[in-house]
Structure 1
Amino acid sequence: MLEILRRQGHRLPKDSRTLLQTPKKVVTVEKCGGHYAYFGVASGILNVLSQHPGIVEHLHLCFNIDGVPLFKSSNLQMWPILCNFDNFVPFIVAIYCGGSKPNSVEDYLSDFLQELQQLQEDGVVHGGEAISLSVKAFICDAPARAFLKCIKNHNSYHSCERCTIRGTYDGRVVLGAKEPDAVPRTEDCFTQLVYDYHQVKISPLSVAGISCIHGFSLDYMHLVCLGVVRRMLHFMKQGPNTCKLSFQQRSRISDHLKSLNGKLPREFSRQPRGLQELDRWKATEFRQFLLYTGPVVLRDVLAPTVYKHFLALTVVMSILLNSDDVLRNEYLGYARDLTVYFVEKSEEIYGKTFAVYNVHSLTHLPDNVEHFQCSLNNVSSFPFENYLWTLKKMVRQSRNPIAQVAKRLTELEKSTTHRGVAVAKEMFTCVSTTLRDGCFLLDNKDFAFVKEKRSDGSLVCDVIQHNDTESFFDDPCDSRLLNIVRVRDLSRAKRQLITRHKLHRKVVCLPLRREATNSGYVLFPMLHGVERS
């Protein structure tokens, strides 16, 4: 394109690297058994703030560290340190690249911890004013947490990071919901290396004054979506006879899932697909199954006790992921009791080998919410995993991957069209007259179905009052408490003219099978921000 424009008389460079201001050289050092480059925390913060001007008094930083393989045919992997705040797109603090993970966690974190301690003392200067900052959370999967905290891996007897429970061996290490002698771990004991059966050595994060107990979020993307939910479905598909479903049952579930394809609102990145492709499901699909499609397609297929057990996890995660602070805090104690019930009951339903590290850690998720005082979605790996995929696509060949990533990022920063994208605060992006994108929960808890959009911005809707709906399930709790309801007949709705600002939340409206006892639709209010990842 540059060559064509030059022939037309435009004064442009011959090489795109000149136009994009690609740096000629990226400085890397040999460190931790591979190559390493440090970019900095402050520089990343200032870059984000310059793109999103506004008054900022304090920054709560979240960090993510994880390994990502670059190629299928080699062991080459990249371990970046990522940071974000206020739901902005993450930025890179440092990158390590080698044939394995860094061989020294102290050397790997040394530059990062040195700058972080200085920033916590002095803050970062932007617009002539010093902005204070603090570390909100480290958000990593279990292997990365074990690496950073210098503790035993998640398959060890003393693997739990929040309590002193000891696992038992039954073909694999399993942990129950409770143990009489188990007590919560404390920061003082961790710093003093009291848990010698749990810790390998003192973590450099503890030395730097960073909490290694509650300062690390139990990431629900890995723990629940890719952990517990996937494990449940695999046990239903090919587990013990006590929980294994027949071929006809699995086919019925798959057919129902496929029939829901195209029924979910466009805020969802993926539509449902059958159990035949279970091994290729992504974390968002397991989350979607747990919160929305699973309660519908498993109804009348699973035994009542198994279905109630599945709904227990659905209710727990609906509470912990809800952005409504009042509702979440009101039912937090109930969610804590329900997680204990889920873990204890899982042994009876799925067998003794089901309750591994991920299943036991469910009992500590409510404590995670209580500590961070926010929805689990605000301390999850989803935005970081999305950004890791972006970084991986920047590497085109195995020669010097760090330089390739650094050059692509510099080109994006120099571009006038590049801006970091914040997660939208609005609950929905599209309002239409279709059932897929036209069902909403109003401020007064009624449900509105959009029938006409007027030029003045008002909406003609069919409104069904909350009192005219039915509970979709009543065990382990009444689904109406979570605004999950069943509507048998949409014709009973009353026509009303409402304004857009009264649309509180978008609603997933899923049709039930046409049997006499299960006709109608099930309405699931979307949990704020969860579906956008």
Structure 2
Amino acid sequence: MERTQRENIFAGLWYGDSKPSMVTFLRPLSDTLSKLADDGIIVQPAELTSEPFVCKVLTIAGTCDLPAKALVLNSVQYNGKFGCHKCKQPGKTVKTGERGHAHVFPFQHRDPKGPLRTNEKFVLDMKIANETKTIVKGVKGPCCLSKLKMYNLIKGTAVDYMHSVLLGVMRLLMVLWFSTEFSRQPFSMAKNTKEIDRRFQEVCPPSSTRYPRSVASHRMFFKASEYRDILLFYGPVIFRGILATMYYNHFLLLSEAIFILLMESISVEQIHHAEKLLWNFCSQMATLYGERYETANVQLLVHLADSVRDLGPLWTHSCFHFEDKNGYLLRLIHGTQNIPMQMVNAVKLVQSIPVISQTIKPGNVIAEFYRHMTKDDSFCQENKDLSRIKLYGASSERLLDTVHLSALQIHAGHCINSGTVSIFHRAQVKRNYLTSKHYGKGNRRNNFTGFFFK
């Protein structure tokens, strides 16, 4: 998608030990977005005979992790009283030891996700907080996003499942299950790490997915994508028979709900079903693990279905692309001196490359060099449908049987005279690597199995 390209995702940079004032830091962005909504931009259609027209752009969604969200919306932190930006549940403070305390959000059976905040009431709370210099229902004062035309501060500000579900709830469950601190608890799997690691080693994922790492030695370094794989794919199979039944069934509620909310096409009934699963998961959290673990991330699960209703599937407004770009930006720094200018110069170069590429003609040495440096396959020669497929290794001839020949003809859309084809065991389609089942070197990966859903 164009909006996730590296040259299109960079808007601002702050360098320093302290966090910036968002009202000041985001003002240039806010002014630009407001200008796009009010004045628009002139667009020239691809057909030169068509007249240019003015296109106005409205901001409808924004996403960030919880600490950043509190700064952007100018509200209290997520672990404070009225810390949820979706509802006005105050939560409560509970003891975590002799001296420790934590602010939690107990599940409200009568009204799980209420009383809901609205954009109008949130703006009013900002105004009152600014006039009285007090905190009103968790709101400290005005924020720059409130000036955006048609932007709904409540519905438009998404719940990022990468931080709240994967790095939040899923990481919490993994700590409870495998930390030696909880080894005497009925939900602990700390004594079974060797068996679980053995099962993980038997998993053969495709090349597009991280290979499972050891729970015993690498759990504390798992990335969000690894928690996602455990939640959706590995966990329901590997934990079966090891995690106690009631805790295993509780985990499956979360797994099924998130799987549904991540689908590309979701019906209203499916969203409602996922919401009930998440509410059931949250309602059992205190009973199974203790009130202490009804954290802000667990509380956000009750609002996750509404976030999908308002903005679409979870993957459309997650922070995965932005976190990827953070790593990319770090790799642009090659010294310890004058880091801000290093970053600015590198970003300017990245943003200039697509403009320069428009002057490159496909098929020459420059185009090949550009494609190699940027991994852009649009500069490949020959048929565009075939240019994204690369075949590797030696080929062999094979005569197709009637079933496979018929299937190939249906796929091609025309009659095929010869049933003899060339067989390759390795191929690259876009950035995905595929291997046949008979490719001997791919025994740790499964790149030959596909699933198709209607």
TM-score (norm: length of structure 2)? 0.72
* Cα gap change, 1:421 to 1:288, in 2 (>3 Å): farther
Cα distance, 1:130 vs structure 2: 2.9
Note closer, same or farther for the CA distance 1:180–1:125 as it changes in structure 2 (3 Å cut): same
Q: 1:322 touches 1:527 (CA, 8 Å); kept in 2? A: no
Partner of 2:439: none
- Residues 1:501 and 1:140: Cα distance change in structure 2 (over 3 Å): farther
Work out whether residues 177 and 190 of structure 2, in 8 Å CA contact, stay in contact via their aligned partners in 1: no
**Equivalent runs, 1:311-390 vs 2, <5 Å:** 311-325=252-266, 328-372=267-311, 374-390=312-328
Spell out, residue by residue over 1:166-220, the C-alpha distance to the aligned partner (whole angstroms, 9 max, x if none): 2122231111232657410011110011670311112121134432211111000
- Once residues 123 and 230 of structure 2 are traced to their aligned partners in structure 1, the CA distance between those partners, rounded to angstroms, is 40
**Aligned twin of 1:288:** 229
2:121 is the counterpart of 1:184:
no
Tell me, yes or no, if structure 1 residue 175 matches structure 2 residue 100.
no
Partner of residue 516, structure 1: none
1:353-385 CA-to-partner distances (Å, cap 9, x unmatched) read 11100001001000000001x211011101111
TM-superposed CA distance for 1:153, in Å, is: 0.3
The answer on whether the counterparts of 1:120 and 1:133 sit within 8 Å (CA) in structure 2 is yes
1:33-73 deviations in whole A, cap 9, x for unaligned?
A: xxxxxxxxxxxxxxxxxxxxxxxxxxxxxxxxxxxxxxxxx
Alignment pair present for 1:105 and 2:22: yes
Q: How does 1:10-21 map to 2 (within 5 A)?
A: none
Query: Which residue, 22, 31, 47 being the options, matches 1:114?
Result: 31
Which residue type is aligned with residue 339 of structure 2? P
CA distance in 1, matches of 2:2, 2:27: 22
Return closer, same or farther for 1:453/1:185 CA change in 2, 3 Å cut-off.
Answer: farther
Superimposed CA distance per residue, residues 370-423 of structure 1 (whole angstroms, 9 cap, x where no aligned partner): 001x2110111011110111111112234332321222233332453376979x
Q: Pick the aligned partner of 1:216 from 157, 160, 169.
A: 157
Deviation at 1:116, TM superposition (A): 1.2
Alignment match, 2:440: none
Q: In angstroms, what is the RMSD of aligned CA positions?
A: 3.4
Residue type of the alignment partner of 2:13: I
C-alpha contact 1:235 1:243 (8 A) present in aligned 2: no
Q: Distance in 2 between matches of 1:499 and 1:139?
A: 43
Instruction: Give 5+ residue unaligned stretches, structure 1.
Output: 1-83, 433-451, 462-494, 507-522, 529-533
Q: Return the letter of the residue paired with 1:350.
A: Y
Instruction: Return the alpha-carbon distance in structure 2 between the equivalents of residues 453 and 368 of structure 1.
Output: 52
Matching residue's letter, 2:156? G
1:36 alignment partner in structure 2? none
CA distance in 2, matches of 1:86, 1:279: 32
| Whole-Å separation in 1 of the counterparts to 2:280 and 2:376 | 40
CA–CA separation in structure 2 for the residues paired with 1:336 and 1:120: 34
What is the CA deviation profile of residues 138-184 of structure 1, one whole-angstrom value per residue up to 9, with x for unaligned ones? 11000000000000101112111111112122231111232657410
Separation in structure 2 between the aligned mates of residue 108 and residue 341 of structure 1, nearest angstrom: 40
Contact persistence 2:74–2:143 (CA under 8 A): yes
Aligned counterpart in structure 2 of residue 203 of structure 1, from 136, 143, 147 = 143
State the partner residue of 1:470.
none
Q: Which has the higher helix share?
A: 2
> Greater CA deviation, 409-418 or 388-397?
409-418
Aligned to 1:81: none
Instruction: Report the AA paired with residue 376 of structure 1.
Output: L
Asked if 2 retains the 8 angstrom alpha-carbon contact of 1:242 and 1:349, the reply is no
Residues 119 and 133, structure 1, Cα contact 8 Å, conserved in 2: yes
Task: Tell me if the contact between 1:257 and 1:272 (Cα under 8 Å) persists in the aligned partners.
Answer: yes
Aligned to 1:517: none
SS in 2 for 1:169: strand
**One-letter code aligned to 1:199:** V
Compute the TM-score of the two structures, normalised by the length of structure 1.
0.62
The correspondence of residues 490-529 of structure 1 with structure 2, limited to 5 A, is: 525=451
Partner residue of 1:253 out of 196, 218, 225: 196
